[in-house]
Structure 1
Amino acid sequence: MRRTLGLTTALTAAVLWAGTAPAFAQSGPYDQYLNHDQLTRAIQDLAGRHGNLASVRSFARTDEGRDVWLLTLGNARTGQLDQKPALLIVANLEANHLVGSSTALFTAQHLLEGYGSDEEVTRLLDERTVYILPRMNPDGAELYWGMSAYEIPYKAHASAPNLGGLNPREIGADLNNDGVVTMMRQRHPEGEWVADDDDPRLLRRANRSRAERGEYRVFLEGIDTTMVDAYVPLGSDGVNLNRNFPHEYLYFQPHVGPHQVSERETRALADFMFEQTNIAAVLTFSPYDNLRSPTPETRRPPEGVAPGPPSQPSNVQGGDRPYFQYISEQFVDLTGLRGDGAPGEAGSFAQFAYYQVGLPSFTTPVWVLPEEASGARAAPAEQAGPAAGGSVVGDWAISLSMDGQALDANMGISRANSGLRVMLNSPAGATELTGQGQGDQFQASGEVQGMGEISVSGRVSGNELSGTVALGPMGTVPFSGTRVGGGEAAAAPAPAAQGAQARNGTTPEHRWLRYFENAGIDGFVDWTPATHPQLGDVEVGGFRPNVRVNPPASDIRELAGKHAAFATWLGNQTGEVEIVETRVEARGDGVWQVTATLANDRYLPTQTQMGARIRFNRPVTVRLMPTSGMTVLTGNIQQQTPRIDGMGARSSFTWLVQAPAGTQVPMEVFAERAGGLQSTTITLR
């Protein structure tokens, strides 16, 4: 698509929980965002009022001396909490994503206050454990108040806490004295940006192949222009904790830390995942999403990710995909929420939990661009036709940049058999690629002599296209473009808002503007003249910091209630192994056939296919304990199975043993993350 500049940089529960938050979760501090001291008091008060079901401890201590709090919820009278399958909820890894911590706190209150009166909540806390980390980044969160002029997802670097994690390229100044740092634009013959056709408040990159000439240069408001290309030593700036985990770690990029899990908070979380072997599923409240729309079947690692070995997975395993798809459907049914999360989840905790720990891992932003501002709900599949974002089929004029040079090209996408044919025409020649399309997204690849494999992937929004081109050893570059002529019909854009400011653009930025206008939110600073000490006359404007990250505080309770209901449902789906039958059959001469049958009656399997592939979690193990006078004739005394599927799936284990009648044989079953250690005694008779 034409790039616009973001001018700041299940089941029965679906019926029971449809609608607003339950009555027992209507009280609490949910009419504002809480700083560290307020959140600490709320957590301790909640745990103190429900001491029979909740405990709180310091999970980690930050560079600035703040505690990261861990809430542990569950009924210890029905079993050891560290043996029961557990749901882990993690929030506020990004410093400014405060709606995540509010939702995590609300979820804890929902569970504790609903125990005894809500059947599903009571079942969850009786049979499962829930770990909640409401705010993983308390140092960074304080910047929401301490440096409110900026949009900062990082924790500050220990050497420069006053900079809030920003590096010299990101430090601006409030030129127009409105209390926020947005963007500034300057008319210049070397400019690469033009005012958007549908809404001139927005800017998009000029497409020279369409005879467009750039008009503006764009900078951070008030930045010292000598700092625009300043050298930033590796690891000298603040860290986005949700970029600091190992899977698809962005080496040598800003704000990812000097190395993987370099921060106290992320190291503590990674250690917890390894040590707390009853964690069976993970739910993260972060800007990324795989619940409103599940991860595509095939995906390319985000731009900047170093190529890994062929054995390193980058896609959800085929055997796991149906579970992710179904849970996504249940999320939408339970919450009624749709939309898209932020792109580029490289180095995130949610990815680490699935790809490197092998757990079912789900993530949701809690709040995204509300649906009423982004268009009507998609029609059912049998009625929908092309995807809501538009069809990828057609001719596109695209622009990309390589080594600082702008290049224009054309891309033709057509259907071929069951896939797509992509013709990429550039000054270097024509290249034919083949691939697949799913909804408003596509991906194609092919071999080019002298370069090896190249690939292209992108996404359509109306008549605009954006994506990346991977050029083998030359790296990966982003592109944007517009549709040329016709193509398959795209879904109609949302109706324009009424009034003088109404616009018809279909990009997220257009839709945000319509949402703010309809909701009466002052979310955008109109372009106003200002004077820059080096550039002279400029205009200042753009989206206000954090208005697209956190919803108005008045919306917290409803959003959090929907997510608390989903978390309750999800926790009850985690797998659990039970011994459902032991059978002894006499074979004569003191020989007995012993059969033990295990079952998993919950929805999720005891282990994902990814978990079995990476061999991180131990398989389900059944062992007959050595017994005086007993000899095992056939069958290993200890037997294993990688996993047991859910919904009543069973697995049986058989031995032939020789022992006197009446011998009592202890048997143990161990199911890591699916019930822990169980034991029974089998009598040979």
Structure 2
Amino acid sequence: MKRNILIAFAALAFTTAAVAQSPSQLFKAAGSPVNPKVAVVWNRYYDHAGLGEICKKIAAAYPDLAKFETIGKSYEGRDLWLLTITDFKKGGDPNRKPGMYIDGNIHSNEIQGAEFALYTAWYLTESFADTKFIQELLEDKVFYVVPTINPDGRDSYIHKPNNASSPRSGLKPVDNDGDGLVNEDTYDDLDGDGNITLMRRKNPNGRYKIDPKDPRNMIQVGPDEKGDYELLGIEGIDNDGDGRVNEDGYTFEYDPNRDWGWGWQPNYIQNGAYKYPFSFPENRAVMEFVFKHPNIAAAQSFHNAGGMILRGPGGIEDVGTYNAQDVAVYDAIGKKGEEFLPGYKYLVVYKDLYSAYGGELDWFYAGRGIYTYSNELWTPYLMFMKDGSRDQFDNPTYSFDRYLLFQDAFVPWKEYNHPQYGKIEIGGFKKNFTRAHPGFLLESDAHRNMAFSVYHCYSTPKLEVQEISEKDLGDGLKEVTAVIANQRLMPTHSSQDTKNKIERPDYITLSTGGKVLAGMRVENRDLNLTTEQQTNPQTIEVPNIPGLGAVTVKWIVQGGGKYTVSVDSKKGGVATLTK
């Protein structure tokens, strides 16, 4: 009885502590929600179920701003969560607003992409009430946030023994070692701590020695020195006796970011490619969602690591695909991102990194005409907020763990009696460090990357019918001229879009009590140069409304009355003016 009372009291105390503080006790920090309805701690990582719970809570707390659903299932049957974020009460049909698509965690071990994507949805909803900019943004735009598009791999990474680089994909059926069994093992966790670290063995002829400045570190000896240790590689066992450790787990994996339907190459050319484009069910679900939402004008995919704002092309063969007009838009947004993402560099995949075919980045842009970036999250710059970390510390990663993480990220070396190698030592960095953000930097960098996505979304088209004017031509005829302006950087159609006719033209329609006899695009208003549209003159089709620019159209109308000009653009949204 007494024990039950103590348990109940402890539960009550925990519940009380979890309740949000009284507003009278709080003082708002600039740029942060002061008393969020959905209290999320952003200094940790959540598995797939945890992400889903946060999504559900956001949608329940803000039904006028967030809708929760799934866009499909993973290979193992997990839901691909989606949060649609917009002002559902203002701005009209959400699917007619210019859209920003965000996803993360396509690679299993690149986990913080999910938190960064979800932080964006959380921040927009929690900041809406007292931030005018967010109110105006969500009236005009819609965000489609899919936190993880690889939930199988995410849960495998979090709940099974792994190192920082494994696994990369979701676990597809692969017989890595040719024994007739598929995916039969993950890595061998010798000490049972959930981390796969390194193995070393004392050897008087070894090529490594203990770093005298930090005994946790191993350094290679010079050509005229003798070492004390040999490194045996990652922690594990040679399961099938072929001399290789842990190949039963993840030696070869299909890469979901080599599966997209642009520039796709088979596995013998592009390592990691699966059967055919969109053979991963997760990628296919994203593809189908994008096709159903032609209003998506911008996209962001979060990866790790390296501190990069990446754009395509992935392969040099596609250099001509990214033409000058579109590159100018990419450059303007990417270089702005460098300003508020410390340590991040704006780069081009094939030029500054390597060639990659069948990537999400290229499919979104080249296949659908959507301006898309992949941010590679986490950079060592963030450890000491300077590029010259190696000038201050011999090994900044070890120093950062020592002085700021208090050696929490490192498994100390300890002896282990290996069944094949005899007496060895195992130790090294845990799987939650070197690629993933440490907790205290997670929210800070999530906020900055969220701000980059918001800036990207803000740059999508915003249309306005700026002018309607009438000129009397005599004999009951009127000339009606309209100017439609685009107040943002992005055009309503990328050059890739117009070149390949990916999306239909923009429609500009005149509604009036009179009869529309002719409709035309105005090429030069000063010189009265026009191009007449031969059919359906009431609705003029224009191939593009340029960013920070305008188009002018003209109609000849018999009769008079009020005029209503309506603009309908798939990626630019809608606008109307009556005069």
TM-score, structure 1 normalization: 0.64
- Residue 547 of structure 2 aligns with which residue? 646
Q: Deviations over 1:478-520 (max 9, x none)?
A: xxxxxxxxxxxxxx663333xxxxx2xxxxxx44333323322
* Structure (1/2) with the larger helix percentage: 2
- Over the matched positions of the two proteins, sequence identity in percent amounts to 23
- Using the TM superposition, give the Cα deviation of residue 48 of structure 1 relative to its aligned residue in structure 2, in angstroms: 0.7
Alignment partner of 2:130 out of 112, 117, 130: 117
Q: Quick check: 1:571 aligned with 2:457?
A: yes
Task: Please tell me whether the aligned partners of residues 620 and 642 of structure 1 are also in contact (alpha carbons under 8 angstroms).
Answer: yes
- Using the TM superposition, give the Cα deviation of residue 49 of structure 1 relative to its aligned residue in structure 2, in angstroms: 1.1
Aligned residues: 515
- Residue 63 of structure 2 aligns with which residue? 51
Secondary structure, aligned partner of 2:89: helix
Secondary structure, aligned partner of 2:298: strand
- Residue 6 of structure 2 aligns with which residue? none
Secondary structure, aligned partner of 1:142: helix
Note closer, same or farther for the CA distance 1:357–1:110 as it changes in structure 2 (3 Å cut).
same
Secondary structure, aligned partner of 2:63: coil
Task: Please tell me whether the aligned partners of residues 32 and 127 of structure 2 are also in contact (alpha carbons under 8 angstroms).
Answer: no
Note closer, same or farther for the CA distance 1:666–1:555 as it changes in structure 2 (3 Å cut).
closer
Report the residue type matching 1:282 in the other structure.
A
Aligned equivalents of 2:513, 2:77: Cα separation in 1: 54
Aligned equivalents of 2:487, 2:35: Cα separation in 1: 29
Secondary structure, aligned partner of 1:320: helix
Note closer, same or farther for the CA distance 1:213–1:80 as it changes in structure 2 (3 Å cut).
farther
Q: Deviations over 1:45-90 (max 9, x none)?
A: 1111111121111211223332111111112222110101111111
Report the residue type matching 2:242 in the other structure.
T
- Residue 582 of structure 1 aligns with which residue? 468
Q: Quick check: 1:368 aligned with 2:374?
A: no
- Residue 242 of structure 1 aligns with which residue? 257
Alignment partner of 1:221 out of 235, 240, 243: 235
- Using the TM superposition, give the Cα deviation of residue 674 of structure 1 relative to its aligned residue in structure 2, in angstroms: 0.6
Task: Map residues 233-312 of structure 1 onto 2, 5 A cutoff.
Answer: 239-249=254-264, 251-252=266-267, 255-287=272-304, 292=308, 301=315, 312=318
Note closer, same or farther for the CA distance 1:535–1:372 as it changes in structure 2 (3 Å cut).
closer
Note closer, same or farther for the CA distance 1:627–1:194 as it changes in structure 2 (3 Å cut).
farther
Q: Quick check: 1:673 aligned with 2:567?
A: no
- Using the TM superposition, give the Cα deviation of residue 222 of structure 1 relative to its aligned residue in structure 2, in angstroms: 2.5
Task: Please tell me whether the aligned partners of residues 190 and 217 of structure 1 are also in contact (alpha carbons under 8 angstroms).
Answer: no
Alignment partner of 2:145 out of 117, 120, 132: 132
- Residue 474 of structure 1 aligns with which residue? none
- Residue 525 of structure 2 aligns with which residue? none
Secondary structure, aligned partner of 2:400: helix
Q: Deviations over 1:525-548 (max 9, x none)?
A: 566665654556666454432412
Report the residue type matching 2:188 in the other structure.
A
Aligned equivalents of 2:34, 2:451: Cα separation in 1: 13
Alignment partner of 2:51 out of 36, 39, 46: 39
Root-mean-square deviation (CA), in Å?
A: 4.4
Task: Please tell me whether the aligned partners of residues 169 and 228 of structure 1 are also in contact (alpha carbons under 8 angstroms).
Answer: no
Q: Deviations over 1:346-378 (max 9, x none)?
A: 5432332223222111222343224344744xx
Aligned equivalents of 2:189, 2:345: Cα separation in 1: 33
Secondary structure, aligned partner of 1:115: helix
Report the residue type matching 2:569 in the other structure.
A
Aligned equivalents of 1:591, 1:185: Cα separation in 2: 90
Note closer, same or farther for the CA distance 1:230–1:158 as it changes in structure 2 (3 Å cut).
closer
- Using the TM superposition, give the Cα deviation of residue 184 of structure 1 relative to its aligned residue in structure 2, in angstroms: 4.0
Task: Map residues 111-510 of structure 1 onto 2, 5 A cutoff.
Answer: 111-150=124-163, 151-157=166-172, 172-175=187-190, 179-184=194-199, 201=217, 219-224=233-238, 226=242, 228=244, 239-249=254-264, 251-252=266-267, 255-287=272-304, 292=308, 301=315, 312-313=318-319, 316-336=322-342, 338=344, 346-373=357-384, 375-376=386-387, 494-497=390-393, 503=394, 510=395
Report the residue type matching 1:348 in the other structure.
G
Aligned equivalents of 1:294, 1:157: Cα separation in 2: 27
Task: Please tell me whether the aligned partners of residues 53 and 112 of structure 1 are also in contact (alpha carbons under 8 angstroms).
Answer: yes
Task: Please tell me whether the aligned partners of residues 85 and 280 of structure 1 are also in contact (alpha carbons under 8 angstroms).
Answer: yes
Task: Please tell me whether the aligned partners of residues 620 and 670 of structure 1 are also in contact (alpha carbons under 8 angstroms).
Answer: yes
Aligned equivalents of 2:204, 2:265: Cα separation in 1: 35
- Residue 603 of structure 1 aligns with which residue? 489
Aligned equivalents of 2:221, 2:469: Cα separation in 1: 72
Q: Deviations over 1:113-138 (max 9, x none)?
A: 21131011111111111111122222
Aligned equivalents of 1:293, 1:37: Cα separation in 2: 29
Task: Please tell me whether the aligned partners of residues 339 and 370 of structure 1 are also in contact (alpha carbons under 8 angstroms).
Answer: no
Aligned equivalents of 1:88, 1:541: Cα separation in 2: 40
Q: Quick check: 1:513 aligned with 2:403?
A: no
Aligned equivalents of 2:94, 2:70: Cα separation in 1: 18
Alignment partner of 1:615 out of 474, 477, 501: 501
Structure number with greater CO (CA < 8 Å, separation at least 6) is 1
Task: Please tell me whether the aligned partners of residues 157 and 236 of structure 1 are also in contact (alpha carbons under 8 angstroms).
Answer: no
- Residue 434 of structure 2 aligns with which residue? 548
Aligned equivalents of 1:569, 1:332: Cα separation in 2: 12
Aligned equivalents of 1:351, 1:673: Cα separation in 2: 18
Aligned equivalents of 2:332, 2:346: Cα separation in 1: 18
- Residue 434 of structure 1 aligns with which residue? none
Alignment partner of 1:635 out of 532, 538, 554: 532
Report the residue type matching 1:645 in the other structure.
P
Aligned equivalents of 2:397, 2:193: Cα separation in 1: 21
- Using the TM superposition, give the Cα deviation of residue 269 of structure 1 relative to its aligned residue in structure 2, in angstroms: 0.4
Q: Deviations over 1:185-212 (max 9, x none)?
A: 6799999x87799999457799xxx999
Secondary structure, aligned partner of 1:106: helix
Report the residue type matching 1:671 in the other structure.
S
Aligned equivalents of 2:109, 2:244: Cα separation in 1: 24
User: Structure 1: which 5+ residue stretches go unaligned?
Assistant: 1-16, 302-306, 377-491, 498-502, 504-509
Note closer, same or farther for the CA distance 1:121–1:654 as it changes in structure 2 (3 Å cut).
same
User: Structure 2: which 5+ residue stretches go unaligned?
Assistant: 1-27, 520-530
Q: Quick check: 1:90 aligned with 2:103?
A: yes
Note closer, same or farther for the CA distance 1:239–1:654 as it changes in structure 2 (3 Å cut).
same
Q: Deviations over 1:541-595 (max 9, x none)?
A: 5443241232223433333233333333332221122222233323344554332
Aligned equivalents of 2:310, 2:199: Cα separation in 1: 37
Task: Please tell me whether the aligned partners of residues 96 and 546 of structure 1 are also in contact (alpha carbons under 8 angstroms).
Answer: no
Aligned equivalents of 1:314, 1:531: Cα separation in 2: 58
Secondary structure, aligned partner of 2:96: coil
Aligned equivalents of 2:389, 2:63: Cα separation in 1: 52
Note closer, same or farther for the CA distance 1:318–1:108 as it changes in structure 2 (3 Å cut).
same
Alignment partner of 1:27 out of 31, 39, 48: 39
Task: Please tell me whether the aligned partners of residues 308 and 377 of structure 2 are also in contact (alpha carbons under 8 angstroms).
Answer: no
Note closer, same or farther for the CA distance 1:41–1:364 as it changes in structure 2 (3 Å cut).
same
- Using the TM superposition, give the Cα deviation of residue 639 of structure 1 relative to its aligned residue in structure 2, in angstroms: 4.5
